[in-house]
Amino acid sequence: MSIGAHMGYNPIMIGIITIYAANAGIMTPVGLFGNTANLIITNAGYSDNSISVFLNGIIMHTVGCILVYILYRGWRIKSNEGRTASIESIFEDIMPFNNNQKFTLIMLVFMILCIMLLKTHAGLTALVFSVILLLANCADEKEAFAGTPWETIFLCVGIGCLLNVSQILGGLTLMTDLFSSMSSRWTVAPILGFTSSVMSFFSLAIAGPIPTLISTVAQVNEGIGNVFQPIELISSIVNGGYTATISPLSMGGAMIMATYDQLFKPDVEEKNRVFRTLFSTAVIISIIAALLANAGIYKVFTNM
């Protein structure tokens, strides 16, 4: 976002496109969320469809990036008269990595390998390696804790707790049943996709909407005569959830808000404007994604 803003692009647009690109990448079969999604799918009684889910995700998030570029008029680059150096000159001034930075990169690689190969818990693994880096004096402990986006962390934890309480009380199941009763041949894919999006506006997609809604696919599909291959409806749910992650109440949008706050130090009015912009964009893209789910875009990679 900082480089994009320096070059004259809308930093919110850059943040959204970055989140969508990351969403597509983390759904690889060896990625954390891709592996988790595949476990959810197989536990629901379906075969391994990790490649299909990954490729369908690339399709939808590519469409999402194009739509965001159009919505934000990405071709309009603002001039920055106060800029005294080009981006190339800034890169020329970057110093080579010191020993602490090299050690940090090595630890980052080891952390990724532990998560991917040893299947360790991502959060706990990151915490362990962070402690190792602090013990090795790679960074100042006070600065590290001060720079932690605590507001974002508490937001994600609080929303996750709220969603879990709602699920325990049966609220999510009741909502799913309501939408299932409204489904038909032409509405089932958009309804499942948009329901996943709405739930992801306020939560982490992989933690709530995806496992909740995937368990209903067989019943809903059977109710309309099994006209869809399961992977089509599953992809609609997964991509519906991830296109909504740019909501400021979800993890992706919260990260954009935190980064924007750190880079530009906005006042309350500007923060509210960014909040409204992110939320409205999430709604628009989610609606378009839900409609596209019924256009057959997920049939291309159904048997991979």
Q: Which pLDDT does position 278 carry in this prediction? A: 92
Distances (CA, A) of 248 to 90, 194, 197: 31, 17, 13
The alpha carbons of the chain give a radius of gyration, in whole angstroms, of 21
| Domain spans in the chain, listed from the N-terminal domain onward | 2-78+149-292, 95-148
Q: Which pLDDT does position 170 carry in this prediction? A: 76
Q: Which pLDDT does position 115 carry in this prediction? A: 75
- Quick one: three-class SS letters along 222-258? HHCCCCCCHHHHHHHHHHHHHHHHHCCCCHHHHHHHH
Q: Give pTM, 2 decimals.
A: 0.71
Q: Which pLDDT does position 66 carry in this prediction? A: 94
Longest dimension (CA), the chain: 65
Burial of 260 (0-12, 13-18, 19+ CB in 10 A): buried
Rounded to an integer, what distance in angstroms lies between the CA atom of residue 117 and that of residue 109?
12
Q: Which pLDDT does position 83 carry in this prediction? A: 46
Q: Which pLDDT does position 294 carry in this prediction? A: 82
Rounded to an integer, what distance in angstroms lies between the CA atom of residue 225 and that of residue 235?
19
Tens of pLDDT along the chain (304 residues) come to: 877 877 788 889 999 999 999 888 888 776 667 777 777 788 777 777 778 888 888 999 999 999 999 999 888 887 655 444 445 555 556 678 888 889 999 998 998 888 778 878 767 888 899 899 989 888 888 888 877 767 656 755 665 676 667 768 777 667 667 766 777 778 888 888 888 888 888 777 777 778 778 877 877 887 778 778 888 888 889 888 889 889 888 888 888 988 888 788 888 888 889 999 999 999 999 999 888 888 878 877 766 5
CA torsion sign for 43, 158, 189, 225 is positive
Q: Which pLDDT does position 180 carry in this prediction? A: 65
Q: Which pLDDT does position 153 carry in this prediction? A: 67
Q: Which pLDDT does position 63 carry in this prediction? A: 92
End-to-end CA distance of the chain: 35
| Dihedral, CA of residue 52, residue 160, residue 62 and residue 43, to nearest 10 | 0
- Cβ atoms 245, 205 nearer than 8 A: yes
Rounded to an integer, what distance in angstroms lies between the CA atom of residue 43 and that of residue 293?
23
**What is the length of the chain?**
304
Q: Which pLDDT does position 47 carry in this prediction? A: 77
Q: Which pLDDT does position 67 carry in this prediction? A: 93
Rounded to an integer, what distance in angstroms lies between the CA atom of residue 8 and that of residue 4?
6
Closest CA to 249 of 296, 282, 298, 273: 282
